[in-house]
Structure formats: structure tokens, C-alpha cells
Amino acid sequence: MDIKGKVFIVTGGASGLGEGTARMLADAGGQVVIADMQADKGEAVAREIGGAFVRCDVSSEADGQAVVAKAVSLGKFMGLVNCAGIAPAEKTVGKNGAHALATFTKTITVNLVGTFNMIRLAAEAMSRNEPEPTGERGVLISTASVAAYDGQIGQAAYSASKGGVVGMTLPIARDLARSGIRNMTIAPGIFGTPMLFGMPQEVQDALAAGVPFPSRLGTPQDYARLVRHIFENDMLNGEVIRLDGAIRLAPK
């Protein structure tokens, strides 16, 4: 798929991996709709890249519909990148007792239900596209995490939510194959994002040192480069790609 001239939605596009992706797509000639809860940041990024911003709770059907409607109004809507997510840390049984059920439920709702909500709404719109010369009508890319495989202490909710994203990657690709819509997932390792930068510096340094090669934090640009390759390589479908420098997370 040629990015130039196409319309893309990036959830979580106001910061981190989503912002890096939105900027890459705009630089490549795409029209970007940023969907995020952070209105000030989202509007600022949208202005800088010549895109549009829609305030969106990805787990809301009405919000998701509004974002897709905006994308369709701007041209040929061909791509969705799901980067919105939360990463709470809480043990199954901790000092204050059992894991809060509300925390677990919210994590699943945002990270898994929200991802599927945007996929289903975007795919419905894409299915009405005239196919490209390759036969495809759109590409969906979601964000899991290496925690889906190597969940650490305190990550039961987060790992479960990302494991769900991994688990639905292939069946969604199979569901949408007849419509010419591809579905892929990226599972990042230790990346320099606002969530990670909220940790103490010594923790950040230790995490970076634990990456076999390259021994550094991943960047939004690393993620965005893979997003671009997935869009442009039409044989990539129904798979999860670990983007992690060969790291395998220890229990803590």
C-alpha cells in the first residue's frame, strides 16, 4: 500500500509510539486523524503535522464511530494503528489485599476491548473502499507487548489485556481476508514512552541494559519504521512481530 494520499487513524497519537507513528505517516504523505483522550497534546500534534484530532475513549462505541467518520470524510481511509493503552501495576495479592477488580476490568476495557472496538469499526468502513491494485482495502495494526509472553510481577492485568490482542490477531485477519483487509500486531519490548519515563531513572537504566542488542530503549521512531513496513509489505498478515532487541523479561 502506498501511504501517500491515504487517510490513517492513530489511537493514542498524542504521545509516545502513537505520536511517532502519526508523524511518520504525515511525513510520508498520509493524512492522519489522531484519536486520544489528551486534547491539548493531540490538537497540538495534529496542527504540527497538518492532521485532525478527535477526542476519543477507544472503548466507547460512539467515540470510535466519530473518529472513523472523520477519517472517511477526509479521503480514502486505509489504515488504523492502535497505540492507545494503559499499564497499571498491581499484584494478584499485595500488601493491601486482593488485586482491585476495577483496575483489572479497566485495563481489559481500554487495552483489549478498546482495540477491538476500533478494529471492527475501521474494518467496516474499509470494506467499502475500492480495492488497491494489490486487492487490499485497508490495513489494521495493533500494539501488544512482550508482556503478553513474559509478564512480570504486578502485570497480571496488563499481560492479560495484551495477550488478548495477540490472541485475536490471526482470527481477525482470517475474518477480513475476503474483504482484502490485513490485520497485524506489534509487540514492543522496552520502549522510551511516557509510561516508562514515569519510572525512576535507575529503573529505566536497568531496563535498557537488559536488552541484548541493541542495549538501549526502543524509540517511537523504531516502532514507526515497522508500522511503515507493514503497510507497504502486503504479505504481512495475521502475525505478531516482537520488536524487542531479543529481550525476554525476568519475573521482576
223 carries an active-site annotation: no
Place of cell 538501549: 216
Catalytic residue among 53, 77, 104, 158: 158
* Three state DSSP letters for the chain: CCCCCCEEEEECCCCHHHHHHHHHHHHCCCEEEEEECCHHHHHHHHHHHCCEEEECCCCCHHHHHHHHHHHHHHCCEEEEEECCCCCCCECCEECCEECCHHHHHHHHHHHHHHHHHHHHHHHHHHCCCCCCCCCCCEEEEEECCCHHHHCCCCEHHHHHHHHHHHHHHHHHHHHHHHHCEEEEEEEECCECCHHHHCCCHHHHHHHHHCCCCCCCCECHHHHHHHHHHHHHCCCCCCCEEEECCCCCCCCC
Catalytic residue numbers read 158
